[in-house]
């Protein structure tokens, strides 16, 4: 397989954008990515796009606005991992030599969707969902288990929110740029004990895009291509095969495939962007990505190792907690954040001398199955 590089990234502002359409915000992200790459729209040979709600030929609808037509376009949906799935689709088509250049787009307009002001509704064949097991409920159960097994506290979970909102204050694209204290987070409205409002990611509108090409072609556009050295995407196993709900076999397996492909280990990663829909979730992801031993994740945040400037910054963008979570956009957006750091273009939140970064995204729930999808991408300069 050929080496593949990211040469352009772009995103819209993340926020409540009810005055805009998915096409509007998607176009903003695509225009920014094409400009960043320095390529002509007509150079794009393949496109993958993702949108979970109000879907209808998303790639075609967005790309015609910038003069991209008549090429292969694929639209995918993989819950929160949809954007990462689109990115992987372009990566695979270039890596196997089918095309030389393509674009991945993720977009979601929550304020204009059936989700506006509501919980994500379960499908009729989702028994757990029909019985009331919502996403806050799932992560509240996990939080209680973390507290029981590892001595984690609600203050520890709140500290994740404090960290990510602090990082978000340095990100011009973040929905919320406001500092919070642990007390602010703990005393915010209770959603599902012990998870409070400020431990939950907000519903948000937004889009992100990335231009990828073969490494050989990338050198025509930039002297600093960011290589995609690892890519993995898996679906979950049956829950009865899990021995511990606080450790995800899906996440660990996906990460290990990406590490093996990249020829690196967790100790080589300089920064991480991961799925933090709920504050306590971030600690679980530390462990399944191999950043620490099981049960030791809380120490990383207590010792500020995962803060900007720490040993291994996690979610220096502000993560889903601060940026918000336009579902299909997040998997492209967090890859774009890694690219910024590897280029040295992340401003105040820059990870010093970053050489290798990891982007993780998890998505979807199914009755009796651990999770719908998990993706891990590893990038290097």
Tens-digit pLDDT profile for residues 313-335: 999 999 999 999 999 999 999 99
- In this prediction, residue 365 has a pLDDT band, given cuts at 50, 70 and 90, of confident
- In this prediction, residue 117 has a pLDDT band, given cuts at 50, 70 and 90, of low
Q: Over 80: is that where the pLDDT of 113 sits?
A: no
Q: Over 70: is that where the pLDDT of 302 sits?
A: yes
In this structure, of 42-46, 53-57, 96-100, 156-160, the range with the lowest mean pLDDT score is 53-57
* pLDDT for res 39: 97
* pLDDT for res 240: 74
User: Helix or strand or coil: residue 342?
Assistant: helix
Q: Over 80: is that where the pLDDT of 122 sits?
A: no
Q: What DSSP state is assigned to residue 189?
A: P
Q: Over 90: is that where the pLDDT of 237 sits?
A: no
Tens-digit pLDDT profile for residues 167-218: 999 999 999 999 999 999 999 999 999 999 999 999 899 999 999 999 999 9
What CATH number does domain 127-201+230-380 carry, 3.40.50.12240, 3.40.50.10070, 3.40.47.10, 3.20.20.70?
3.40.47.10
Q: Over 80: is that where the pLDDT of 114 sits?
A: no
Residue with tokens 């703990």: 186
**Top-confidence residue, 230 or 114:** 230
Q: Over 80: is that where the pLDDT of 124 sits?
A: no
- Which of 50-59, 133-142, 349-358 is the most confident on average? 349-358
Q: Which CATH class is domain 4-115+205-226?
A: alpha beta
Express as a percent the part of the chain with pLDDT over 70: 98
* Cα diameter, the chain: 57
Query: Does residue 80 carry a catalytic annotation?
Result: yes
Domains of the chain by residue range? 4-115+205-226, 127-201+230-380
Q: Over 70: is that where the pLDDT of 111 sits?
A: yes
- In this prediction, residue 360 has a pLDDT band, given cuts at 50, 70 and 90, of very high
For residue 124, count CB atoms less than 10 angstroms from its CB and return exposed for 0-12, middle for 13-18, buried for 19 or more: exposed
For residue 263, count CB atoms less than 10 angstroms from its CB and return exposed for 0-12, middle for 13-18, buried for 19 or more: exposed
Strand residue runs (E) in 132-225: 190-192, 195-196, 205-214
Summary mean pLDDT of the chain: 94
Contact between residue 295 and residue 149 where contact means Cβ atoms under 8 Å apart? yes
Catalytic residue among 80, 192, 201, 374: 80
Q: 4-115+205-226 with 127-201+230-380: one CATH topology? A: yes
Tens-digit pLDDT profile for residues 21-39: 999 999 999 999 999 999 9
Give the bridge partners for 227, in sequence order. Answer: 5, 380
Q: What DSSP state is assigned to residue 8?
A: E
Q: Over 70: is that where the pLDDT of 54 sits?
A: yes
**Helices 154-168 and 135-150, interaxial angle, to 10°?**
120
* pLDDT for res 118: 63
**Strands across the sheet with 373-380, in order?**
72-76, 46-50, 101-109, 205-214, 4-11, 226-234, 373-380, 356-363, 271-273
> How far apart, in whole angstroms, are the C-alpha atoms of residue 207 and residue 197?
24
**Helices 279-288 and 154-168, interaxial angle, to 10°?**
90
* pLDDT for res 352: 96
Express as a percent the part of the chain with pLDDT over 90: 84
Give the bridge partners for 360, in sequence order. Answer: 376
């Amino acid at each position: 397989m050929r080496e593949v590089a990211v040469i352009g990234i772009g995103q819209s502002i993340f926020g409540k954008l009810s005055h805009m359409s998915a096409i509007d915000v998607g176009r903003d992200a695509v225009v920014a990515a094409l400009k960043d790459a320095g390529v002509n729209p007509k150079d794009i040979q393949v496109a993958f796009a993702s949108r979970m709600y109000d879907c209808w030929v998303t790639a075609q609808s967005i790309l015609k606005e910038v003069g991209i037509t008549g090429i292969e376009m694929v639209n995918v949906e993989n819950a929160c991992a949809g954007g990462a799935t689109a990115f992987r689709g372009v990566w695979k088509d270039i890596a196997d030599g089918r095309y030389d250049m393509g674009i991945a787009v993720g977009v979601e307009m929550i304020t204009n969707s059936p989700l506006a002001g509501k919980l994500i509704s379960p499908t009729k064949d989702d028994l757990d969902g029909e019985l009331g097991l919502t996403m806050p409920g799932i992560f509240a159960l996990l939080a209680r288990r973390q507290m029981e097994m590892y001595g984690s506290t609600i203050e520890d979970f709140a500290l994740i929110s404090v960290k990510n909102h602090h990082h978000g204050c340095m990100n011009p694209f973040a929905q919320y740029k406001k500092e919070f204290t642990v007390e602010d987070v703990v005393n915010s409205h209770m959603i599902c004990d012990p998870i409070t409002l400020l431990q939950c990611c907000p519903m948000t509108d937004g889009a992100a895009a990335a231009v990828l090409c073969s490494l050989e072609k990338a050198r025509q556009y930039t002297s600093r291509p960011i290589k995609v050295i690892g890519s993995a995407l898996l679906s979950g196993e049956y829950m009865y095969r899990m021995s511990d709900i606080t450790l995800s076999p899906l996440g660990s397996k996906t990460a290990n495939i990406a590490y093996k492909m990249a020829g690196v280990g967790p100790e080589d990663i300089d920064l991480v962007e991961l799925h933090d829909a709920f504050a306590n979730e971030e600690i679980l992801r530390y462990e399944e990505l191999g950043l620490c031993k099981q049960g030791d994740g809380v120490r990383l945040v207590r010792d500020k190792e995962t803060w900007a400037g720490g040993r291994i910054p996690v979610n220096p963008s502000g993560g889903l907690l601060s940026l918000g979570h336009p579902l299909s956009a997040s998997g492209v957006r967090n890859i774009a954040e890694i690219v910024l750091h590897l280029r040295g273009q992340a401003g105040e939140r820059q990870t010093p001398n970053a050489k290798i970064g990891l982007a993780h995204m998890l998505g979807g729930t199914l009755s009796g199955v651990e999770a719908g999808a998990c993706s891990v991408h590893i990038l290097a300069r």
